[in-house]
Amino acid sequence: MFPAQPSHSIQVIADSVLQLSNYYIQNPNGETPWRENFCQIAYRNYYFPLNQLRCAKVIERGQGVNFFEDLTYFVDWGSGPGTASFALAENKKLKSQIKKQFLVDISSGPHKSFADLHSNLISPSFSTTLDFKSYLDQKSSTCFVFSYSMTEIARLPAGWDQAEALMILEPATSQDGRKLLQLRQELIEKGYSMWAPCLHQLACPLLKNSNHDWCHDRFIVDAPAWFWQVDQLLPMKNKTITTSYLLARKKLAFAYPTNNGRLTGDSREEKGKTRQLVCRNEEREFLTWMHKSITPQTFPRGEIVEISDDFEFKSNELRVKYPCRTR
């Protein structure tokens, strides 16, 4: 995932990352300058491995609920350097399952600039033709992958919603995250079932009952020592990374027990209690530990927990009497 050794000196990598970051700030709607040397250095050593880690963690979430069962064709739409495709091909369990990977991007630049990164892809096919129907010959076993590409497009070409499965990742920002929550409802109306991160097919409580909340997972970054040397020279820190995502299929999703909840917020200490936003239906609720009666627990955002049926429900709080367990 991360190169064992960096391709350039620590200072050159840090300078390249800052240069690309400044480019994005100054050109928010501009095309990524793939052919520029500073862009390739920044992507190979920093952005690519971090984004691949995001994809790999989402893939692991999907494998936990058998989302990828029987899927053999993967279309990486708006692929850029192929980050999501690379993460799929690197997954040991999926490597023997995938028959073909299609990388589709309007610019051929990423494919040429990052050709060596694609050496491990499974029967790769590269195209600049943005026509989803071209990839639907095996639609019952096809998964369309949108890694940081769907919510940037005002309107996608016809056919994107015909595949059996959709794997969608977006930045964990309020704007992109809430767009994804709106898309979730549209997908349900189109006949898709939410496999992850959602535990139910009801309305999203963060969209229904809040004007500012959004859904995202947080993952710990495990990187080699040289990466942290680069990190020390940058204003942005990446001890943990976040991403918003949806895994949807035409096939019905696994039905979770009613006592299961997914933690959609970070743990918050308040006077006399510890609270953590939890999703188990269409209501906005907090899993709550009252300090006078139970030792509080802290779980990572995105974890699924089993909640004892013996709790006190007050306002929007589930005041637990017994410890919760992770699935």
In the chain (327 residues long), the average pLDDT of successive 10-residue segments reads 89 97 87 89 94 96 95 92 94 94 81 77 85 82 92 76 94 89 94 96 93 90 95 92 95 92 94 96 95 94 92 93 91
Within 13 A of 280's CA, how many CA atoms are on the CB side?
A: 19
Residue type at 3 in one-letter notation: P
CB 256 within 8 A of CB 195: no
CB 70 within 8 A of CB 141: yes
pLDDT, position 154: 65
Query: Measured in whole angstroms, how far is the alpha carbon of residue 89 from the centre of its chain?
Result: 17
Where exactly does CATH 3.40.50 map onto the chain? Answer: 10-249
Q: What is the CA radius of gyration of the chain?
A: 21
Cα–Cα dist 264/255, whole Å: 19
Cα–Cα dist 264/30, whole Å: 32
Long-range Cβ contacts of 13-19 (<8 Å, 24+ apart): 13/41, 13/42, 13/45, 13/46, 13/230, 14/230, 14/233, 14/234, 16/41, 16/42, 16/45, 16/46, 17/42, 17/45, 17/46, 17/47, 17/230, 17/234, 18/234
Output phi, psi for 73, to 5 deg.
-120, 130
pLDDT, position 108: 64
Task: Give me the DSSP letters along 184-243.
Answer: HHHHHHTT-EEEES-S-SS--HHHHS-SS----EEEE----HHHHHHHHTSSS--SEEEE
Identify the bridge partners of residue 275 per DSSP, sorted by sequence position: 268, 288
Helices vs. strands in the chain: H and E counts, helices first: 9, 16
CB 293 within 8 A of CB 321: yes
Collapsing DSSP to helix, strand or coil, 307 comes out as coil
Residue type at 17 in one-letter notation: V
Output phi, psi for 44, to 5 deg.
-60, -40
Q: In the structure encoding, which two tokens stand for residue 241, read together?
A: 């990374």
pLDDT, position 211: 86
Which CATH number among 1.10.1760, 3.40.50, 3.30.519, 1.10.3470 corresponds to the domain 10-249? 3.40.50
CA distances from 9 to 3, 14, 50, 323 (A): 13, 9, 18, 48
